[in-house]
């Protein structure tokens, strides 16, 4: 099974990369862009024999310990294949 961890800068944290992308989009002529935030996505393939609840707890721990920096980032875990 595959878990997707989406990591984004917290809303109250400046996101210079997002600002740079926003400016680049504007200079390419894309109008109507009101804001851009840039983050990371980490797809983790897990052994299908793992219990789903255990896998969810494990991915949550991975995100807290390694994949995201909780001081400046929020994360969400998705299960794209259902």
Contacts with its own copies by CB under 8 A lie at 6-8, 18, 21, 24-25, 28, 30-47, 49-50, 55, 58, 61-62, 65-67
d(CA 44, CA 3): 5
- As measured in angstroms, the least distance from the Cβ of 14 to its own copies is 15
Measured CA to CA, the distance from residue 3 to residue 23 in angstroms comes to 32
Inter-residue contact 5 to 74 (CB < 8 Å): no
Output DSSP code: residue 12.
Answer: T
11/71 with CB nearer its own copies: 11
Instruction: Tell me how far, at minimum, the Cβ of 63 lies from its own copies, in Å.
Output: 11
Q: Which is nearer to its own copies, 49 or 71 (CB)?
A: 49
């Amino acid at each position: 099974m595959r878990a997707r961890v989406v990591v984004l800068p917290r809303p109250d944290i400046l996101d210079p990369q997002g600002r740079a992308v926003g400016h680049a989009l504007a200079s390419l002529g894309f109008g109507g862009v009101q804001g851009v935030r840039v983050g990371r996505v980490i797809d983790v393939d897990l052994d299908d024999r793992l219990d789903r609840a255990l896998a969810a707890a494990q991915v949550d721990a991975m995100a807290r310990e390694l994949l995201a920096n909780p001081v400046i980032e929020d994360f969400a875990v998705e299960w794209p294949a259902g």
